[in-house]
Each structure stands twice: as C-alpha cells, then as structure tokens.
Amino acid sequence: MKTRTLSPRLRSAALSVILAAIVLAVWQLATLPKARSLPPGVSAQYAELMGMKGADSPAQTGFPTPAQVARSFARQLRDPFYDHGPNDKGIGLQLGYSLARVAMGFGLAVLVALPLGFLIGLFPVLRAALDPFIQVLKPISPLAWMPIALYTLKDANVSAVFVIFICSVWPMLINTAFGVAGVRREWVQVARTLQVAPMRKAVLVILPAAAPTILTGMRISMGIAWLVIVAAEMLVGGTGIGYFVWNEWNNLALPAMLFAIALIGLVGMALDLMFARLQRAMTYAE
C-alpha cells in the first residue's frame, strides 16, 4: 500500500505555519502580565495614582500582545482611506504616498540605468572610464544625500524621490552592464554576419539574453528603494508609511506601529514576488 507524501511546496508551507505559530506563542508568553512588588515606602494608593501595579495586581510588560496588534490590524484596515487632516490619514493613503514616491524614483532610475548600463556593457573602454566613479558613489548611504537634496531641491517630496532614485540606480546599472557584457559572443557574431542593424541587434539579440540579469538588478533595486523610503519619510515627515510609523511612535501607539511595520514587510514581499515572477518568465533554459 502506497503512502501519500506531501509535495515540497506543501511541506514548506506547513513548516512556515509551524514557525509562525512558534513565534506567536513566544511573543504571547513574553507579554503575559507579570506581578511586581511595590518599592519600599510606596503605598498602594500612591501606586494606583501613578499607574504602578503591585503584587496583587499583575502588570503588562509594556510591549503589545499579539491580540492587541491584531485589533490594530482590524481597526486600521476597517477604513484605510480616511483623511482627517495632516497628521491623521488612513493607512491606505499613507501607503499610496510611499508607493507613488518609490514608483517615481524607481522609474527615473530605470530611464538612466538601463541605457547607460547597455553602453557600459557594449564598450569596455567606457566601462573602464566610468568604473571609478561608480565604485565611489555606490557605497554612499542614500540618506547621506538627503541633506543635499533638501538644500538644493527645496522640497521634501522631491528630495525623497531623489533619494529613491540614487539608491535604485546602482544595482540596475551594474547588473545591466554585466548582463550585456556577458552575452554570448557567438550570438553577436551571427547577428553581425547577418548584417543586423545595431538597434535591431540590441533589441532582438542582446536584450533578451541579458534580460534575466537586468531583472535581477531591478529586483534588488526595488527592495532597496522600499527599504530606504521608510527612513526617508521619517526624516522629511508629512505623509507616507515611514511618517506613519514615526507618528505612531511619538503617540506611543505601539500596536499601530507594529501593524505598520508588518505592513511594510508584506508590501515589500509582494513587490519582490512580482519581480521574481517576471524574472522567471524571462529566464530561458539553454
């Protein structure tokens, strides 16, 4: 009699569920109420007035429980697009502001990185000439550009878009150049033998061959862009998911802050999965 075994995908999903349950259980145990004794000379009435709990009245550790964060999820998602003023907007609006900034900065990086990366990959002399500048500018933290952007651009939103652009351009540029330079010489020689025009050769021969590597760079750039926008919005303020996190921290609304952090992770995962699927679609078996 044959025994049925779960597929690798189902086994991975089951393991993920088990790990999530363990994390939630540890979280719940760590935030259980704990009894505390009053300091010497402190009366019960004074402790109650000051919010101190004694041994007969267990106190929370201060960190939100999973149930509190879950209630924050339900409350925030019940009406995600409300707008009650500058400092009171729904999570859907805040997320929309962040995604719009990321889209603009990432789009500008695509317009710069892909053509320049193509040229660098095609011409070794140009690659050698630009490599020192790329190696110097690439390691600079994107947030280090924020003061310069604010000083020169005079606008917080434009500065945030510039920071996204400057952090997104390098992985795309390097991967595009690497992918183009790594195209098989035989394919290029065949196109040259057939007297294919340079633009047609770039679109029909080089681009499809380099597409998986280019998409890898775009995937990395998107992850960095989503990472940086949160920190940038904490600095510039006003709107966005990063500002939402900072504002909830200032209000000591820890459940709402943890909800926003979890949402940042979920959106980042969705963006990465989108590029991963596109990358798989563009990858061919030799």
What pTM, to 2 d.p., does this model score? 0.81
| CATH for 182 | 1.10.3720.10
Give the DSSP H or E segment for 235: helix 207-236
**Domain assignment present for 214:** yes
The domain in which residue 167 lies consists of: 100-238
Count the neighbouring beta carbons within 10 Å of the beta carbon of residue 132. Answer: 9
**Domain assignment present for 27:** no
**Domain assignment present for 41:** no
pLDDT digit string, tens, across residues 185-241: 776 667 677 666 767 777 777 778 888 889 999 999 999 999 998 888 888 878 889
DSSP letter at 62? S
pLDDT digit string, tens, across residues 149-160: 888 988 888 999
Cα–Cα distance, 64 to 254 (Å, whole number) = 7
**Domain assignment present for 152:** yes
DSSP letter at 57? S
Number of domains in the chain: 1
